[in-house]
């Protein structure tokens, strides 16, 4: 591939990196992708043909990693593929186009309503708290759109950025995923968020208890967590009832969440909603074999008695004859 040339002696030239690279691209790109981009940016000043294999050797990266990194930057608009190679695009120009796309922005709103003033303060608090006061202008538009899309109040928006910041994931894709999850859980106000956190904490404690009782020293899979959510949310079962189902696995050499789910699903279909309901049902099941044997014994005794009665009747009739 061929990269565009800027005819300056390498000895006296500099490779400039736009500040928007640090504010918009750095946090979401992998270390290898950054390595590839910076070297491509450096090479873009010289008119030599550069092959992917050469990049692989020069950067000590597998060819697949080079290809994936180039695809990543191409998808993000930082580079553009041509028939002869790639162009390293101007990141400042890209962000400028993003910023001035026709959209309603907090900064462009001339109404100065009380709501927008609160939002502007919230956005500035985000800028100071999580971007050291140098938040890129494009973030302002994104945050404004998220306010409109999700209907979050200012405290929830601040909590959203704090949540992502504390997990070292302050980039748009991750923020969007978390915001979608909160929206699906009907979070609008800080009170809604507080209730959500309480439910999450209760759910996490339940997971830990179940793992401890089953002797599992690992993180549950997504599918196993879905089972627990089904038992607690759909069935309305607490740990006391779930524990009764867990005890049913002690006689098994191996168990699965699917087996436990079958037990709890059966109880739910029988409308067993309390520990007493379940325990009564289990006692009935336990006593059923004994009751069946008693019934069989009684039936056999009745049958034998009927045989004797029939023989006596037959003998009496013979005597009369």
pTM, full prediction: 0.49
CA separation, residue 107 to residues 99, 138, 144, 320 (Å): 11, 11, 9, 118
pLDDT at 3: 58
**pLDDT tens sequence across 200-253:** 899 999 999 999 988 888 888 889 999 999 999 899 999 999 999 998 887 666
What's the rounded Cα separation, in Å, for the pair 83 and 66?
18
pLDDT at 319: 53
Who wins on pLDDT, 45 or 317? Answer: 45
Tokens, residue 113: 């309503």
**pLDDT tens sequence across 68-80:** 998 998 888 888 8
pLDDT at 290: 56
Q: Closest Cα to residue 164, out of 138, 197, 130, 189?
A: 130
Complete edge-to-edge strand list for the sheet that includes strand 2-3: 2-3, 85-88, 79-81
Tell me the average pLDDT of the chain: 80
- The fraction of the chain above a pLDDT of 90, given in percent, is 30
Q: Per-residue pLDDT for 315 more than 80? A: no
- The fraction of the chain above a pLDDT of 70, given in percent, is 77
Question: Phi and psi for 3 in degrees, rounded to 5?
Answer: -110, 145
Tokens, residue 288: 């059923």
| Strand extents, DSSP E, the chain | 2-3, 79-81, 85-88
């Amino acid at each position: 591939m061929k990269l565009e040339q800027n005819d300056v002696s390498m000895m006296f030239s500099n490779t400039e990196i736009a500040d928007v690279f640090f504010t918009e691209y750095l946090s979401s790109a992998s270390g290898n992708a950054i390595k590839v981009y910076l070297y491509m940016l450096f090479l873009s000043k010289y008119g030599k043909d550069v092959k992917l294999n050469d990049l692989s050797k020069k950067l000590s990266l597998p060819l697949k990693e080079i290809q994936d990194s180039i695809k990543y930057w191409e998808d993000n608009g930082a580079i553009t593929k041509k028939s002869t190679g790639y162009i390293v695009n101007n990141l400042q120009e890209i962000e400028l186009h993003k910023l001035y796309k026709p959209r309603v922005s907090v900064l462009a709103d001339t109404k100065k309503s009380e709501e927008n003033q609160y939002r502007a303060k919230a956005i500035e608090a985000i800028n100071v708290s999580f971007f050291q006061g140098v938040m890129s202008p494009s973030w302002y538009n994104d945050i404004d759109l998220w306010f409109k899309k999700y209907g979050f109040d200012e405290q929830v928006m601040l909590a959203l950025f704090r949540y992502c910041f504390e997990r070292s994931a302050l980039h748009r894709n991750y923020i969007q995923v978390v915001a979608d999850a909160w929206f699906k859980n009907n979070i609008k106000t800080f009170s809604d968020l507080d209730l959500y956190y309480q439910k999450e904490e209760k759910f996490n404690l339940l997971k830990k208890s179940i793992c401890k009782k089953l002797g599992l020293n690992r993180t549950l899979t997504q599918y196993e967590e879905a089972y627990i959510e089904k038992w607690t949310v759909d069935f309305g079962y607490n740990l006391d009832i779930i524990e009764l189902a867990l005890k049913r696995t002690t006689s098994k050499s191996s168990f699965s969440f699917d087996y436990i789910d079958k037990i709890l699903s059966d109880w739910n279909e029988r409308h067993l909603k309390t520990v007493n309901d379940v325990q009564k049902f289990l006692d009935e099941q336990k006593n059923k074999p004994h009751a069946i044997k008693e019934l069989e014994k009684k039936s056999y005794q009745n049958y034998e008695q009927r045989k004797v009665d029939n023989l006596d009747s037959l003998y009496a009739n013979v005597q009369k004859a």
